[in-house]
Structure 1
């Protein structure tokens, strides 16, 4: 959405990423159930209700009963999503987590359409991350029933132990076990209501409800996320997971992907709320996972990371993520799951919601910055060389070595195509092995300025020597002073132009020798250079074009001399690159 964000992303030092759908596939499947007494396994793939619910002994349950059935029914009814069938083809509509619960209920013979027809929904309390659960009231016989689903620890806290503390503890342990296996865990609760149906569901309405069981949902990590996180680490970029999932689940997924090492340091939203800004400032460098966080926590995390001087990229998809997206250096909204508000608040939109694409954008950002730097060096070197020629001629009392029209032609033939073609250079080897660029580093660093002075100085000195030499020889041969000046200016124009043609190849890499680069590695530059050379030769060789910039014909020997002198810029830049590399190696040894 905002082009400068590409360059900024290339200097990012921290990427704060959502888990679901970005680091993981967002392909939810219920794999485990627990009814407070026993654990059950769920088989099957995809959204088709084909698969079995089996006991730990391996026996299949065609029609689960008791708390297990109520757990599946709660997941089906307390649900804002749907699963539509066209023959055998299942099409999910809504949140993948909720669709997974519908699919699991179907494996137990609970059909969504018939169940919703039998138990019409009367009241709905939508899910909110700071609340930690959602609830709905349905009309049943003999009376209305409240169903709830959400974070297990939240429901177990609200609903109480239902007079069975041992069962309450078993559910706690089962939730921890599922989370440790990398599952997203949801608890289900049921409460028959007496009296009139409430207009709004309040927190106290859940008091006394029975937590019927748990559902463990697997959302496998994207294979490419593992490589992308490792690539970010090599590039000096730290990846931080920010998720609403249980802390144990988040740590298991983070460890599998490579975030924070084998045992990442994790902080929950509740712990974060107890921290002051200064305490969070001291903590953020060590934390790899923030779990059970609300959108407002993202904003605090972003601010403290930025306060530490980090360049922060923050992902988000919800309406409440907008403040954090705006506060970060680079706000990254989800293109598939993101809301319009999140997209408007962001600097860039992730079209496929894939973390690997963020890593690819980091690489592209670094390439863009490097290429801008190359173009800047190329243009400044040529401009500085021409400027020195003009200034030197004025100080020496010589005629100007170029006319106004020739200066315009020089800018056209060396800049109109050549500078644009340098932006097509591919990334250099090791680009993603370098640490992020410091924010304070500008385009005109010491390397660019030094090389600009070296190249510009050589261009000016050599061109002025050719100008004086050609002028003196023409006058000695009896030429008219005006003709001698025109020929000397033509020679100067050719020399300066050929200097820039060679400098274009020098500028393809700021550090690598031109002799190790593939000459055809940038075909756009090759075509642009060929076009520019033909134009320059045409304007000094074809009588029909000489009037354009007031040039005079040059012999092949004179053109050869101009090319030979201009080629001297190649060994000069090669020497500078060699000394720069030597100095860098020496600095690393001392460090």
Structure 2
């Protein structure tokens, strides 16, 4: 539907759609249904289980392992072949399960179009399924109805619609069938339109359907979600980069080792192939992806206990490198409930908590607020029903022990004029001690203009220009602070009768009540903590700019030199202008789903890892686009939860900051685990290369290395993932997402520590070789390498010495060490294991040598750290 349609009169709209006010005929509806198809939202193409399973084998490292398994099979080493293939299949199954858990289609969006609707066809009023609605249908709406399609209002009576699923704001929007001015109108300002997925909360209306299915605002959001591509996390990029480089290095070195070995006259081609296989198995960290997955999963469990429910494991790691949080205002930074802040009566501005019932003007102000509203509250449970603004007024009465129901019983309502967006007033007539009295609330400027007196503690006084100026000044001051201001007035009536619009005049002005959706107390501290951690918080909201900016200042988001924009201003900016001003924009107000994606994309263009929070359907595309999408668990729609990577069980911004701390800790633990795995593998690589160059027999059988990599290494690596968060993590800036995990210090540690363990292993190999031959030498080298890597797990807990870290501060590392020792003992001392793992019996001297050599690298590393620490 073209934008000019919003400016057309009802008659012009009907002519454009070629319908009459009686609606379509059955044949016309059938033709349009055939033209437009069922009113459904697009569903993304799903991959088959087999296709997803096959994708798990595309990695180059996996191809190298498959080649190693085939070579091992042809060489007669069936045990190694079976173990390698078992590992590959297990990893593929794990990856397939994760894919189907993480990827969900837009079923929630489809479900929102399922309700029925009341339409006029062939001059009759019918109730049909929403998927049979077509453009041109005339639909009747009343309170409680879910709007099933986008439509232009033909007529309405005091209509209010909750569009929170689209705009993100919980306050109901008043609608009118009047044509609106201007060419560009924000979604929340299209007063003569209603949109699919909205809820009618008050009044009645008749609309003509202008768009269904994917042509609706809801459908556009579905299209955005389908078009939005998720980005890889920094860890995924690092691991992908590392894997590709490692694969190339392995291929080159394996080829070199094979050629080097084959030209030695005493070695057969089969022996040379076994060297290449041993090197490939030693170099590839088979358990790396599984270890990373397990550590991330454990991080999710810890976060869940802190109300941050992680849907996608990669979000844990991304949280650790978040540099900007684009946060929704309502319910996340604020409490999602209107609260009275200040009252003005009898010439005095006071806080709502300081209202004095002994003051006639203030008591009358509260009386009007309770009687001239429809909200109710259960004063025992605190549960309330009604418009958020009126609920705030009822809660004000409850604060002083005044129940609205008792007031309303004492002063029954005789007549009313419902709120109207044109009049900006609501009036009710009541029986009072002074006779029938008209009570009115509404916009300050409208009521002040119609008032001739002002109520004071001493009774009504004439409304002078000075008093008008004072009231206007108070209103202006409150509005500039982001408060919503309501004015209240009264007028005595001669008799009880039906009200007319002419009755709303000649008022006695009583006072003002200002209210706001207040910030969560913990949000202020959380924003400060985020700032300390180098994380920028940006507010993105559908609220008005003045209100949003005022809240942002209170919370600490908006500071000196910052600026705020609304959707129209954002539309007028090019991407270059936005990029230039982006660091200084703290608040975005009155924004659309496209705006939110544009804001997130702009931060990502700067190389930043961006988190985005939201709870409505309108937030879903941006949640999916962000590096970390965060949905609200309490107020969030199912669509937003589907699109997000993390869900806040408490809808609290402070929980995001806690999750960032956990994310940083998890990343540090993963890095330590990778260092542990790679330094151990480096020891095996150096040992195999040395043996090949020196013309020695293979120091480790492939089954030895697979046993180390998959069993004895996995447990300490997982234990490293359980390391508690170190103090000062949130005092550091976010890490550079483009920085390589394998930086120079990391590579130095991996090579240096691997070299020490490799020397110890080859020393044990030579001792066994001199004693009994290659079989004992291989067994001693295997036992030394395994035990040395178990000890090395304590070195990788952190950069400090184990004395400073505390040996018992991570009990899981002690448990992993104990289980590793037990597994090694089973292999070495249980006769049934000797043939499976190709080991020879060890005597007491052999065991002492293995123990001493295995512990030597850890002793040297720890003594060095203690010396450096002092």
- TM-score tier after normalising by the smaller chain length: 0.7 to 0.9
Partner of 2:42: none
Q: 1:99 to 1:160 in 2, by over 3 A?
A: closer
Check the 8 A contact 2:321/2:736 in 1, yes or no: yes
Check the 8 A contact 1:42/1:52 in 2, yes or no: yes
- Tell me the distance in 1 between the aligned counterparts of 2:660 and 2:344: 43
Q: What pairs with 1:33-112 in structure 2 (closer than 5 Å)?
A: 33-34=343-344, 38-39=347-348, 41=350, 43=352, 52=355, 59-61=359-361, 64=364, 76-77=373-374, 82-85=375-378, 88-93=380-385, 97-104=389-396, 111=405
Partner of 1:447: 745
Partner of 1:513: 801
Moved more, 537-546 or 410-419: 537-546
Quote how far apart the aligned CAs of 1:519 are. Answer: 0.6
- Tell me the distance in 1 between the aligned counterparts of 2:440 and 2:793: 70
Deviation string 1:137-181 (CA, Å, 9 cap, x unpaired) is 88989xxx99996xx7xx86x99966999887655532343356x
- Tell me the distance in 1 between the aligned counterparts of 2:440 and 2:670: 59
- Tell me the distance in 1 between the aligned counterparts of 2:600 and 2:412: 43
Q: 1:339 aligns with which of 637, 643, 652?
A: 637
Q: 1:159 to 1:294 in 2, by over 3 A?
A: farther
Q: SS of the residue aligned with 1:313?
A: strand
Moved more, 496-505 or 545-554: 545-554
Quote how far apart the aligned CAs of 1:446 are. Answer: 2.8
- Tell me the distance in 1 between the aligned counterparts of 2:590 and 2:468: 21
Partner of 1:499: 788
Query: Does 2:322 align with 1:3?
Result: no
Query: Does 2:617 align with 1:323?
Result: no
- Tell me the distance in 2 between the aligned counterparts of 1:369 and 1:356: 20
Check the 8 A contact 1:330/1:348 in 2, yes or no: yes
Query: Does 2:473 align with 1:173?
Result: yes
Query: Does 2:728 align with 1:430?
Result: yes
Moved more, 353-362 or 309-318: 309-318
Q: 1:134 to 1:411 in 2, by over 3 A?
A: farther
Q: 1:358 aligns with which of 648, 656, 675?
A: 656
- Tell me the distance in 1 between the aligned counterparts of 2:440 and 2:620: 31
Partner of 1:279: 577
Q: 1:113 to 1:424 in 2, by over 3 A?
A: farther
Structure 1 unaligned blocks of 5 or more: 45-50, 126-132, 196-208, 475-483, 583-591
Partner of 1:399: 697
Check the 8 A contact 1:184/1:246 in 2, yes or no: no
- Tell me the distance in 1 between the aligned counterparts of 2:564 and 2:720: 46
Structure 2 unaligned blocks of 5 or more: 1-310, 431-437, 453-464, 490-498
- Tell me the distance in 1 between the aligned counterparts of 2:420 and 2:515: 23
Q: SS of the residue aligned with 1:101?
A: helix
- Tell me the distance in 2 between the aligned counterparts of 1:457 and 1:117: 89
Moved more, 542-551 or 388-397: 542-551
Deviation string 1:60-83 (CA, Å, 9 cap, x unpaired) is 447527xx8766666x24xxxx43
Quote how far apart the aligned CAs of 1:492 are. Answer: 0.4
Check the 8 A contact 2:540/2:588 in 1, yes or no: yes
Check the 8 A contact 1:334/1:351 in 2, yes or no: yes
Check the 8 A contact 2:552/2:558 in 1, yes or no: yes
Partner of 1:382: 680
Quote how far apart the aligned CAs of 1:513 are. Answer: 2.6
Deviation string 1:105-152 (CA, Å, 9 cap, x unpaired) is 677875497799755797988xxxxxxx997988989xxx99996xx7
Q: SS of the residue aligned with 1:426?
A: coil
Aligned length: 525
Check the 8 A contact 2:713/2:789 in 1, yes or no: no
Partner of 1:369: 667
Deviation string 1:296-323 (CA, Å, 9 cap, x unpaired) is 5544433333333322212222222223
Q: 2:820 aligns with which of 505, 523, 532?
A: 532
Check the 8 A contact 1:540/1:553 in 2, yes or no: yes
- Tell me the distance in 1 between the aligned counterparts of 2:362 and 2:512: 19
Check the 8 A contact 1:267/1:287 in 2, yes or no: yes
Moved more, 264-273 or 347-356: 264-273
Quote how far apart the aligned CAs of 1:505 are. Answer: 0.8
Moved more, 276-285 or 20-29: 20-29
Check the 8 A contact 1:246/1:291 in 2, yes or no: yes
Partner of 1:562: 850
Quote how far apart the aligned CAs of 1:12 are. Answer: 0.8
Quote how far apart the aligned CAs of 1:221 are. Answer: 3.9
- Tell me the distance in 2 between the aligned counterparts of 1:39 and 1:247: 28
- Tell me the distance in 1 between the aligned counterparts of 2:528 and 2:419: 47
Q: 1:242 to 1:488 in 2, by over 3 A?
A: same
- Tell me the distance in 2 between the aligned counterparts of 1:280 and 1:405: 58
Deviation string 1:326-361 (CA, Å, 9 cap, x unpaired) is 332222111112222222222211110111101000
- Tell me the distance in 2 between the aligned counterparts of 1:162 and 1:304: 49
Check the 8 A contact 2:631/2:646 in 1, yes or no: yes
Q: CA RMSD in A?
A: 4.3
Q: SS of the residue aligned with 2:383?
A: strand
- Tell me the distance in 2 between the aligned counterparts of 1:134 and 1:463: 88
Deviation string 1:389-445 (CA, Å, 9 cap, x unpaired) is 233323332211122332333234423422222211111222222211212124333
Q: What pairs with 1:478-489 in structure 2 (closer than 5 Å)?
A: 484-489=773-778
Partner of 1:481: none
Quote how far apart the aligned CAs of 1:498 are. Answer: 1.5
Quote how far apart the aligned CAs of 1:468 are. Answer: 2.0
Deviation string 1:15-62 (CA, Å, 9 cap, x unpaired) is 122344333444543132348x84554655xxxxxx9556xxx72447
Q: 1:235 to 1:576 in 2, by over 3 A?
A: farther
Quote how far apart the aligned CAs of 1:573 are. Answer: 4.6
Deviation string 1:157-212 (CA, Å, 9 cap, x unpaired) is x99966999887655532343356x663244699x8669xxxxxxxxxxxxx9999
- Tell me the distance in 1 between the aligned counterparts of 2:763 and 2:387: 74
- Tell me the distance in 2 between the aligned counterparts of 1:287 and 1:369: 30
- Tell me the distance in 2 between the aligned counterparts of 1:381 and 1:231: 36
